[in-house]
Amino acid sequence: MRPTTITKLNTGAQLSHSVFAQARDWIECARSVAVLTGAGISAESGIPTFRGPGGLWNNYRPEDLATPQAFARDPKLVWEWYDMRRQRVAAAQPNAGHRALAKLESHAPNFTLITQNVDGLHRAAGNRNIIELHGNLWLLRCVSCGRQEENRCVPLSPLPPQCTCGGLMRPGVVWFGEALPADAIRLAVLAAEKCDVFLVCGTSAVVYPAASLPERAIAAGAHVIEVNLEKTPFSQFAHISLRGKCGELLPRIIRVPPFPEPVI
């Protein structure tokens, strides 16, 4: 049965109760749930997004800070920027949106969280089956010997950090122009194509291959629910597209047993 399209434009009172009820029902009845998150889910934890108001790319040029060429040119400058971001994340806590997804994982028969975020806040909130498509800020990798380590020191010193082999350590994230980890994208595609419900939370849906995942889920017959403050290029394809903050809307559509008695 092809899911009916229900698209509403904002979270105001006029957002019919049935849209939330429909989203809740799909989630509660799902045997398999997959979720794609972006920077928007961490915005309420004080982590800036990349695009839109206050986005990092409004003040910084990706080609100066988030490419292998930029690192080769000026590793100290690149590290100063990543260290600034690590310090912000170190001071941040998961929010109600992160926590709702952790709660969902603890109840859904099959659950996969696919994130573009490198902040590690989903794991801090309690999620476990996480695919980090774009890497993780707390990982460092040697550009010479390939050794990888988890390092949560903030501020990091000295910059740039050095490997025991004498090589330079780079941030364990995926930069523009670099391929995503093969296993990560393979498992993400599998989860998108196998799920009954696919949630798309706080992403502008413009960076591929991550942005292809909701499309794959639709093609595979899943119900796709988008939560975003703004309309995205994907909104018109979502079965339900909710306008608002992840921290406010996810707890409203993710309920876990014991369910509250229906108000007669």
Binding to ligand APR by CB under 6 A, coded x per residue (else -) over 133-152, reads: -x------------------
CB of 41 to ligand APR, least distance (A): 6
Where do runs of H (alpha helix) occur along 16-95? 17-29, 40-43, 56-59, 62-65, 68-73, 75-90
Does position 232 interact with ligand APR (CB under 6 A)? The reply is yes
Report which secondary-structure segment, H or E, holds 130.
strand 130-132
- Binding test (CB under 6 A) with ligand APR, winner from 22, 45, 112, 203: 203
- State the CB neighbour count (10 A cutoff) for residue 20: 17
Q: Is 223 a catalytic residue?
A: no
- 245 interacts with ligand APR by CB under 6 A: yes
Q: What is the DSSP string of 150-165?
A: E---SS-SSSS-B-TT
- Verify binding: residue 132, ligand APR, rule CB under 6 A: no
Which residue, 22 or 116, has its beta carbon nearer to ligand APR?
116
Tokens of 257: 């047993």
Could you say whether residue 256 binds ligand APR (CB under 6 A)? no
Q: Is 195 helix (H, G, I), strand (E, B) or coil?
A: coil
Two tokens, residue 53: 């108001």
- Options 229, 242, 253, 254; binder of ligand APR; rule CB under 6 A: 229
Residues 6+ apart with CB under 8 A from 161: 79, 140, 151, 168, 169
Which helix (H) or strand (E) segment holds residue 33: the answer is strand 32-37
Which residue lies nearer to ligand APR by CB, 88 or 194? Answer: 88
214 binds ligand APR (CB under 6 A): no
Q: Is residue 188 within 8 Å of 216, Cβ to Cβ? A: no
> Which of 45, 49, 112, 127 touches ligand APR (CB under 6 A)?
49
Per CB under 6 A, does 184 bind ligand APR?
no
Min dist CB 53 to ligand APR, Å, is 8
By the rule CB under 6 A, 63 interacts with ligand APR? no
**Span interacting with ligand APR, options 27-35, 43-51, 71-79, 106-114, rule CB under 6 A:** 43-51
Distance CA 56, CA 28 (A): 36
User: How does DSSP classify residue 16?
Assistant: -
**250: contact with ligand APR by CB under 6 A:** no
Contact 73, 104 (CB under 8 A): no
Catalytically active residues are 134
Q: Which residues bind ligand APR (CB under 6 A)?
A: 38-40, 43-44, 49-52, 55, 116, 134, 202-204, 207, 227-230, 232, 245-246
